[in-house]
Amino acid sequence: MSLETFRTETRAWLEANCPPAMRVPAKGEADICWGGKNWTFASDDQRIWLERMVERGWTVPTWPKEYGGGGLSKEEAFILKEEMKAIRARSPLDSFGIWMLGPALLKYGNEEQKREHLPKIARGEIRWCQGYSEPGAGSDLASLRTKGVKDGDEYIINGQKVWTSYADKSDWIFALVRTEADAPKHLGISFILIDMDTPGVSTKPIKLISGKSPFCETFFDDARAPVANVVGKPGQGWEIAKYLLSHERAGIVSDTVAGGLNPVTASHQVGEVDEHGRIADPILRGDVARLTIDALAFEATMRRVKDEADHGEGVGARASILKYVGTELNKRRHELNMSALGSDGLLWEGEKEEDGDPARNWLRSRANSIEGGTSEIQLNIVAKRVLELPGT
């Protein structure tokens, strides 16, 4: 099928199948479909939209068909994205399974693991969380101490993870566990898939400055996982984690962009404009304009990096530049949004559900430059791998 035909057919299918209620931008977390065993759909439309997209494999358009994907080429997937954007269709399903575990399984998983887990991710049946950071292993992630001791064909796992996003709502976790006690720091870690219903696994939400609790602590007390649940080889976990972190960085950045970087709406909402429709405060107007320039430059950079990757130049360590710039920009956007809103931005809660969102989203954005590797870690990576500056 030619790309033009694909576009025409895709457009017609979306037009006929995307419910109107799914063509308005998601207002907040509540409008996002995460899926999972315990998922309650926010509406019938959300359910229908997921089911229809699942049927075509379009929740994961580029995955192979035998694993629940759409089997689309890069170009076709790009067209699908464009056509969805054109009608402002929401993503039918968002999940760490799609963004992170899926790509890792496709690259490192064995056939059995792929057949078992990928279709359930594609259909939104199993919700995954990521067990990486520990209280003593943040930026220095490879120093993690959660331990797996082999007992027959199982590992007995003990330790604690922290900053596990939505662990309390997840069905399975992919975790980094130190299984090779005698190996060097980076070579003793395995990437293990663990059912959250396993006895000995428990979670506890962490309350954040935003008042919300998207993150948990996750505890392992003599929890057992089959050796067959190790992805790749035992000791290969760090390599897989690094591969996956680049996907996480891409995810955080695309979230940033999806949120829209233009902060101008807020200042218009509160009506602080002059008789020409300009933002009344000239200094604020200048700040918004400078942010807009950087947002335009960032948007163009995403496009350029994609084009260069398609021409075989690879993204590599430059993903760190995107992560650094994108998250710092998003923080600036929320800061300006708060400035533009003035005292309206201080609202914590009110009659409407969205009252308090600006403040909470602003507070949430502070984590962007910490999670997935801090800005400082990204700068270290750029200095060492791109600029090849010497170590101390």
Partner 1 sequence: MSFVLNEEEQMLRDSARSFLSETASVAALRKLRDENNPEGFSRDLWASMGEMGWCGILVEEAFGGVDMGVSAAGFILQEMGKELTSSPFLSTSVLAATALRVAGTEAQKSAWLPKIAEGKAVIGFAVDERARHNPDAINTVAAKDGNGLRLNGTKRFVANGAGADVLIVVAKTEDGAPCLVMVDPKADGVSATPRRTLDSQVPADFTFKDVKLDGDALMNGAQDTGKAIAHVLDVGRACLAAESLGVAERAFDITIDYIKGREQFGVPIASFQGLQHRSAHLLSEIELARSIVLKALRTLDETPSQAPIWAAAAKAKATAVSRLATSEGIQMHGGVGMTDEYDIGLYYKRAQAAGEFLGDDAWGAGQVAKLSGY
Which residue in the set 303, 314, 316, 353 belongs to the binding site for partner 1 (CB under 8 A)? Answer: 303
Contact between 319 and partner 1 per CB under 8 A: no
**Of the candidates 169, 179, 154, which has an alpha carbon nearest to the alpha carbon of residue 218?**
169
Which residue in the set 12, 183, 228, 297 belongs to the binding site for partner 1 (CB under 8 A)? Answer: 297
What DSSP letter does each residue of 256-316 carry, written as one string?
HHHT-S-THHHHHHTT-B-TTSSBSSHHHHHHHHHHHHHHHHHHHHHHHHHHHHHTT---T
**Residue 217 to residues 100, 129, 173, 352, Cα–Cα distance (Å):** 20, 12, 12, 31
Active site residue 275: no
Q: 362: which residues sit within 8 A by CB, 6+ positions away?
A: 334, 335, 337, 338, 345
Contact between 308 and partner 1 per CB under 8 A: yes
Selecting among 248, 299, 328, 388, the annotated active-site residue is: 248
x/- track of binding to partner 1 for residues 125-164 (CB under 8 A): ----------------------------------------
CB contact at 8 A, 162 and 134:
yes
Shortest separation between residue 185's beta carbon and partner 1, angstroms: 21
The total of other beta-carbon atoms located within 10 Å of residue 391's CB is 6
Task: Give the count of alpha carbons within 13 A of 105, CB side only.
Answer: 27
Which residue in the set 230, 325, 359, 367 belongs to the binding site for partner 1 (CB under 8 A)? Answer: 325
Number of residues that bind partner 1 (CB under 8 A): 44
Site for partner 1 in 225-264 (CB under 8 A): 262, 264
Shortest separation between residue 332's beta carbon and partner 1, angstroms: 13
Residues of this chain that bind partner 1 (CB under 8 A):
262, 264, 267-268, 273, 277-279, 285-286, 288-290, 292-294, 296-298, 300-301, 303-304, 306-308, 311, 318, 321, 324-325, 376, 378-380, 382-384, 386-387, 389-392
Q: Which are the catalytic amino acids?
A: 248
